[in-house]
Amino acid sequence: MAELPTPKRALKRVLRVWIIGLLCFGYGPAFTYGFFIWLLNEQQWAWTYFMYTTLVPLVGGFCVLVLPWRSYHPIHHTLTRWANGEPVEAERVRMVYEQALRLPWQVAMGCLAASAIGYLVGTGVVHWKAHQPITEILKTLPAIPLVGGMMGAFCYFGTMRALHPIVAWCSRRLTQAPAVRALPIAVQFLTTTYVLAIAILCLMLPATYTLGQMITERHVQDRALMHLRSTLQAMPRDQSLDDRVARLPDAALGTHGYVFAAAPDGRLVGHPKGYRTLAQEGFYRVHERLQAAEGVWVDRVGRHRVVAFARLRLGEMPVTVISVAFPTDFAEPLGHFFLLSGLIVIEVLIAVMVFGRYYTKGITTPLAELTSTAERIAQHGDLALRVPVTTNDELSDLARSFNRMVEELETSKANLEHYTRRLEQSTQELSVLNQEMEDLLRVVSHDLRAPLINVQGFSKRLEPLMQETVQALDRIAAETSSNGLRVEVTTLKGDLQTRFAESLRFIAKGVEKMDTLLASLLAISRVGRKADPIQPQDLAAILDDVLATFHHQLEERAIRVIRHPLPQGVPCRRNEMNQAFSNLLSNAINFMGPSEHRCIEIGATTREQEVECFIRDTGIGIGPDDQERIFNMFTRLQAVDVPGEGIGLAYVKKIIRSHGGRVWVTSTKGQGSTFFFTLPTAHTVATRG
């Protein structure tokens, strides 16, 4: 399984994406777009710089760094805990997986929010402090999709890429990855393409429009100054003051242009709007501009105006004649360009939509066919299905690889079915042989007991016969008068009592041992076939019965028993589990040895699908070579003189196997042994011999 991504490395990748997105795709387009759209004078530039250096970092940093970090922090905290060795929980893995898949979308939404908030607040400040008209503010409206779109798209895909190792690791840890709201490939592609198209248009069109506006303003400046100069020169010098003032409108340029005169004391003469002072015009730094004899400039505070001025004497009073012209009166081609640009924008977006739809269909259709085929194979197991190869790119390689995988699966399935049939046949044959062996074992153990009983019966009949013979020999020895015959009879009587009695004892002990062996064999043959059904049992109650049986032996040998809680509701056969515990406990008592610390510990561990019980002793231990062999029938440890026939552990093994569990031992010579066995918590295994 892949290694867990380090928290430091993951955090570095994520922060790098967010910072690059904020600086390159946030500040960069915003500065460029502002430079193209706003031909600002000093006052407007000052407020714009203030906005960029204060508002943009605050809003952008909060929406693009702080808020995403709040969403990423639980992921970073969990990665740190796992890196420090805490256990990996499935629920925490699922949480990290879901949060990592949602985070890119949250970052993209933060970028859009940052651009919208920055635009609204920033343009409001410029309009309030720099007196920018609403028409100029509306020109900057595309800054929202430009900045927010580019920054959001980069942060979305960049964050997704940065979190890929985390998502991949979590996906491998989860047996089934949870479904998170999907964002289709078509939407991702179209959104990205739209963002790029809008970015190009938002940068190219304002640049072109600004260039046209600058050319128009330069043309109007030249015409305004020349027209003002020529008009003033054409005025007769012998005209009265009123006549000269009446001719000032002849110097106006354009439909909305006008001309007026400003006296040295600041009073205005002949102003068409009735203004009395020059301050009412709202020119930016007008006194600095009027220092020369004549000149022209573009005043961009408020509505864009071209202002030309020249000196003139009206009678004895020197005045400054000021001509105000509006570039919009001469910007009809620029207006046509603006309308054509709008049409171009609409056409480009439609072309992107149509092109993107067909392009994404070329990607998503093969993927949908691949997904559909995979789902049909998973649901119905029809490995004859194939994915059509309809392209000549990476998708076709994917389809061919999928088809090759299905072909290999089909071949593997055929081989598996063949091996399964052979295995079933072998299992049936083995079952028949096993049944025959068990029947033979049962018959042998049952039928051997009949002659054994006869031997036992006839051997018991020999005892009274021996007594009668001894009594007869006593009478013969008493009645005979020959000393030699009496000695022979007495000797025969002693031999008869000694050797005959000893032979009868050996016969009785052999019969008893043979009967025990046959009884054990018969019990083994009946494991799993008795009327005792598998039912939920309390293992602690079963152990109570067993310990009550061995209470005297445990006290006599001074063996201390340590009990841990045993589970309830474990499916098993009560009588057979009683026998299993009894044999393991008897084995621990018999092989305790001369240890000073004599202890038997009994406990269990409950897992998801099974219960694992153990019986640990401080006995003589078992060597590595004997740990597997002791579970075979009639196998006993060498050079250990303890009672038994070597059947107990084989009996335990068959009982546990019949319940669907397993049994094993871990031991070190001279340091005790621990016998383990497992029982399924849900009985799904058929009875096995």
Tell me which of 25-29, 232-236, 512-516, 649-653 is least confident: 512-516
Identity of residue 349: L
Alpha-carbon distance 48 to 585, whole Å? 89
Give the count of alpha carbons within 13 A of 575, CB side only.
10
- How, if at all, do strands 599-606 and 560-563 pair? parallel
Alpha-carbon distance 315 to 240, whole Å? 7
Q: In which band, very low, low, confident or very high, does the pLDDT at 687 lie, cut at 50, 70 and 90?
A: very low
Alpha-carbon distance 50 to 651, whole Å? 90
User: By three-state DSSP, how is residue 655 classified?
Assistant: helix
Q: What is the pLDDT of residue 335?
A: 76
User: By three-state DSSP, how is residue 393 classified?
Assistant: coil
Alpha-carbon distance 320 to 265, whole Å? 11
Give the residue among 103, 71, 110, 122 at the shortest CA–CA distance from 181.
103
pLDDT tens sequence across 650-661? 888 988 988 889
Q: What is the pLDDT of residue 171?
A: 83
Whether the per-residue pLDDT at 667 is higher than 70: the answer is yes
Whether the per-residue pLDDT at 94 is higher than 50: the answer is yes
pLDDT tens sequence across 430-460? 777 766 666 666 666 566 666 767 676 767 7
Six token digits for residue 483:
């000393």
H or E segment to which residue 679 belongs: strand 673-680
Whether the per-residue pLDDT at 391 is higher than 70: the answer is no
Beta partners for 294?
310
Q: What is the pLDDT of residue 686?
A: 41
Cα–Cα distances in angstroms (integers) from residue 568 to residues 490, 541, 573, 605, in the given order: 70, 9, 13, 12
Chain centre to alpha carbon of residue 517: 59
Tell me which of 238-242, 455-459, 681-685 is least confident: 681-685
Mean pLDDT of the chain: 79
Tell me which of 165-179, 189-203, 545-559 is least confident: 189-203
**In degrees rounded to 5, what are phi and psi of residue 356?**
-65, -35
Alpha-carbon distance 159 to 166, whole Å? 11
Whether the per-residue pLDDT at 674 is higher than 90: the answer is yes
Contact at 8 Å (CB) between 452 and 518? yes
Whether the per-residue pLDDT at 216 is higher than 80: the answer is yes
Q: What is the pLDDT of residue 118?
A: 77
Q: In which band, very low, low, confident or very high, does the pLDDT at 584 lie, cut at 50, 70 and 90?
A: very high
pLDDT tens sequence across 590-607? 888 777 788 999 999 988
- What is the DSSP secondary-structure string of 490-527? HHHHHHIIIIIHHHHHHHHHHHHHHHHHHHHHHHHHTT
What is the pTM for the complete model shown?
A: 0.51
Calculate mean pLDDT across residues 540-563.
Answer: 90
Six token digits for residue 165:
């190792």
pLDDT tens sequence across 102-115? 898 899 888 888 88
Planar angle of CA 504, 505, 506, nearest 5 degrees: 90
Calculate mean pLDDT across residues 238-266.
Answer: 84
Residue with structure tokens 């497992």?
678
Alpha-carbon distance 391 to 366, whole Å? 8
315: left (phi over 0), alpha (psi -120 to 50) or beta: left
| Residues in contact with 70: Cβ distance below 8 Å, sequence separation at least 6, in sequence order | none
Which is higher by pLDDT, 177 or 615?
Answer: 615
Alpha-carbon distance 225 to 293, whole Å? 12
pLDDT > 70 in the chain, percent: 79
Give the residue among 646, 616, 650, 644 at the shortest CA–CA distance from 631.
650
| Residues in contact with 337: Cβ distance below 8 Å, sequence separation at least 6, in sequence order | 208, 209, 212
Whether the per-residue pLDDT at 309 is higher than 90: the answer is yes
Planar angle of CA 653, 655, 661, nearest 5 degrees: 75
Contact at 8 Å (CB) between 108 and 156? yes
Whether the per-residue pLDDT at 179 is higher than 90: the answer is no
Q: What is the pLDDT of residue 530?
A: 52
Contact at 8 Å (CB) between 269 and 322? no
Q: What is the pLDDT of residue 689?
A: 40
**In degrees rounded to 5, what are phi and psi of residue 661?**
-110, -165
Q: What is the pLDDT of residue 663?
A: 92
Alpha-carbon distance 443 to 435, whole Å? 12
Alpha-carbon distance 58 to 123, whole Å? 16
Contact at 8 Å (CB) between 512 and 459? no
Planar angle of CA 463, 464, 466, nearest 5 degrees: 65
Q: In which band, very low, low, confident or very high, does the pLDDT at 644 lie, cut at 50, 70 and 90?
A: low
Q: What is the pLDDT of residue 197?
A: 73
How many other β-carbons are positioned within 10 Å of the β-carbon of residue 607? 9
pLDDT tens sequence across 190-209? 777 777 777 777 667 777 77
Highest mean pLDDT among 422-426, 479-483, 536-540: 536-540
- What is the DSSP secondary-structure string of 519-563? HHHHHHHTTT-SS---EEE-HHHHHHHHHHHTHHHHHHTT-EEEE
Alpha-carbon distance 289 to 273, whole Å? 22
Q: What is the pLDDT of residue 688?
A: 40
